[in-house]
Chain A
Amino acid sequence: MNALWIIARRELAGYFNSPVAYVFLVIFLLVAGFLTFTAGAFFERGEAGLGAFFGWHPWLYLVLVPAVGMRLWSEERRAGTIELLLTLPVTTWQAILGKFLASWLFLALALALTFPVVLTVNVLGEPDNGAIVAGYVGSLFLAGAYLALTCMTSALTRNQVVAFILAVVLCLFLILAGFNPVTDLLVRWASPAVVDTVAAFSVVTHFDGFQKGVLDTRDLLFFVSVIGFALFATGVIIRSHRAG
């Protein structure tokens, strides 16, 4: 357990040792603000809620989360430090979880820095703060699911750009599976059961509940399963590189 936190700390410090962390935070906050206030028409809606804010998160994370996670394993493999890391007295799982948690914490920090939007909506009206908290929890798990998938694609290649693109494609699939235009298209030729199954794989469907303030265990379980599966796959990929 100890080794896990040492790895996580090193990884987290790695973000802040380079300008990447600051550039990312600024871009994240700017884009989140733009989407909420301009594209999401926050003020014009006249609602005391953060629907305009959270609604964009599946799309916002689509590009930004893979950007945070793409270097996790590909960079270790490219630089050869993976050999150093995995010959230290740690298990592969500790290394995978340590790295994942570091990036997840970093994303949590980025998300926490959006607090002014909570203040704004509280000043302007009387929102359901329970729903807002649920929204943040959902958003964090959404980011975690994307991040775990990025870990997996990052373990597949030495090239960060390839890892990034693969991660975006996978995450896009998870959004589109439940995106209305896509489900509408499916309804025309597939049976409702198929449509439901495909939609069940969508992060949008599962994220919706959180936005409404409903903490459904099934939704939570979905995100935890995606994270668990993707990290397990990461372990299998890393083992297979070494098994030859």
Chain B
Amino acid sequence: MATEEHHDDHHGIAHTASIKVLVGTGGTLLLLTIVTVLATKVDFGANINLAIAMFIAVVKATLVILFFMHLKYDKIFHTVVFLSAVLAASLFVGFTLMDSGQYQQTNIWNPDAPPRAPFGPRPISG
């Protein structure tokens, strides 16, 4: 067998992650979890807070994918498969969001008797 020789090298049939990388990734992930919780307690404005939380989540996800899931050392094709799924998902989200703004008007058929205002308290502005 042509590939038989592979089995004798240190890495065997796949890349072996070093303890340093594993523990380092795990530690960073825990650290980022603490950071993201603390970041919520500071008020940067709703959108910036959301952006920070999502940025940290993306960094964490990237760490998991690259090191825990070995994608950094893996075949490029697996990256392609995964990224196409992410791309498809973002198209899905993006197009739905673009479309969703189109149906929000209310047609008031009888201007003399407009529909009642919605129940419940008003949202907090700002």
The answer to whether A and B come from one shared complex is no
